[in-house]
């Protein structure tokens, strides 16, 4: 249930409703909009008498919410969430581009990549220090050494860093170096990890599982939000279907659907979504046109030598051209780049 307060309701009236909710054994999630304050009722406490709540001073009405995700729901939080990171606003007017290599391979490779994506207009540097791979014999990442290189690249370029964390035990370590903690597709329903990043109170980029529904993605976000960590960014990165010509099937329709269902920012990863560098550019443009708040794009100075996902990585010059082509599309949908 949500309680919608009247326009101009006083802080005392809002506090009285919150107190009534908490007395029932539930939690009150407060969202302040331009016109109304909305109080979400979360939990399995004693049933609240809706008519009694509606008779309270300052209350306009109550609305039942049937969706299982509460804190992630736009019903509970009508205003779109903006996640600020080192001067970058993810979820605001500007479309944010996160770019860099799939994996940190060496100091030379990362620094060259960071400088080039910065020059092309990227806002956030992406790079994997820990790499979950299908094969145990594939390159697994540089670990803490890779994290230190990412921090070095941030110092040199000023770009905030997003990198993946794979288990609850390494959350404190990755938090030391990264601005955004990424939960990969394989870990979307790793509930111990979701609890850990929620408790870390650091921005989290949550990728959709390769065989997960939109509702399952939002329920995973709910685990993070339940710890009071509201800085969650959702990422559509393609789902597994019967199609074999692409690595995954990039679900562009998930973008407007998520924007209807949730207040959380939504970014799109066309690199993993297609697995082919030739398809990254058109799908990136489609994502911006569909209303994505950001893009996550793999860029490597020498993709043919990449230790991970070279086939889906753009060369720096292609990335620079893509950034130029995205600007008029962003403007056409009322955004900037």
Q: Are 336 and 330 in contact (CB under 8 A)?
A: yes
Confidence of residue 68 (pLDDT cuts 50, 70, 90): confident
What pLDDT is recorded for position 171?
97
Task: Specify the pLDDT at position 137.
Answer: 59
Give me the DSSP letters along 119-183.
HHT-SEEE-BSS---SSTTS----THHHHHHHHHHHHHH---EEEE--SGGGHHHHHHH-SEEEE
Asked if the model's pLDDT at residue 303 lies above 90, the reply is yes
pLDDT confidence of 64, banded at 50, 70, 90? Answer: confident
pLDDT in tens, 179-207: 999 999 999 999 999 999 999 999 999 99
Which of 20-29, 248-257, 323-332 bottoms out in mean pLDDT, i.e. has the lowest? 20-29
Res 175 pLDDT > 90: yes
Q: Does the structure show a pLDDT above 90 at 46?
A: no
Q: Answer yes or no: is pLDDT of 91 > 80.
A: yes
Most confident stretch, 57-61, 75-79, 137-141, 160-164:
160-164
Full set of structural domains in the chain with CATH: 2-63 (3.30.70.1140), 83-332 (3.20.20.70)
């Amino acid at each position: 249930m949500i309680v919608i307060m009247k326009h101009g309701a006083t802080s005392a009236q809002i506090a009285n409703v919150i107190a009534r909710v908490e007395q029932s054994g539930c939690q009150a999630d407060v969202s302040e909009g331009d016109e109304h304050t909305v109080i979400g009722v979360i939990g399995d406490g004693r049933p609240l008498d809706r008519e009694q709540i509606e008779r309270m001073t300052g209350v306009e009405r109550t609305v039942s919410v049937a969706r299982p995700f509460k804190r992630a729901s736009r019903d509970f939080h009508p205003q779109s969430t903006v996640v600020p990171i080192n001067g970058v606003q993810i979820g605001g007017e500007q479309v944010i581009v996160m770019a860099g290599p799939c994996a940190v391979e060496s100091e030379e490779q990362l620094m060259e990549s960071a400088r080039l994506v910065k020059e092309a207009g990227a806002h956030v540097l992406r790079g994997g220090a820990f790499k979950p791979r299908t094969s145990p014999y594939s390159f697994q990442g540089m670990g803490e050494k890779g994290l230190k290189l990412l921090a070095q690249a941030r110092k040199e370029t000023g770009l905030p860093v997003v990198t993946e964390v794979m288990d609850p035990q390494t959350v404190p370590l990755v938090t030391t170096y990264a601005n955004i903690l990424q939960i990969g597709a394989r870990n979307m329903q790793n509930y111990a990890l979701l609890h850990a990043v929620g408790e870390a109170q650091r921005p989290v980029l949550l990728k959709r599982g390769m065989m997960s529904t939109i509702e399952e993605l939002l329920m995973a976000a709910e685990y993070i939000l339940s710890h009071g960590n509201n800085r969650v960014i959702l990422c559509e990165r393609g789902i597994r279907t019967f199609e074999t010509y692409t690595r995954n099937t990039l679900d562009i329709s998930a973008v407007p659907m998520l924007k209807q269902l949730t207040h959380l920012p939504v970014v799109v990863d066309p690199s993993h979504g297609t697995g082919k560098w030739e398809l990254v550019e058109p799908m990136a443009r489609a994502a911006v046109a569909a209303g994505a708040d950001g893009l996550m794009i793999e860029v490597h100075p020498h993709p043919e030598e990449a230790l991970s996902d070279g086939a889906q990585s753009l060369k720096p010059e292609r990335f620079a051209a893509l950034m130029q082509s995205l600007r008029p599309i962003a403007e056409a949908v009322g955004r900037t780049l």
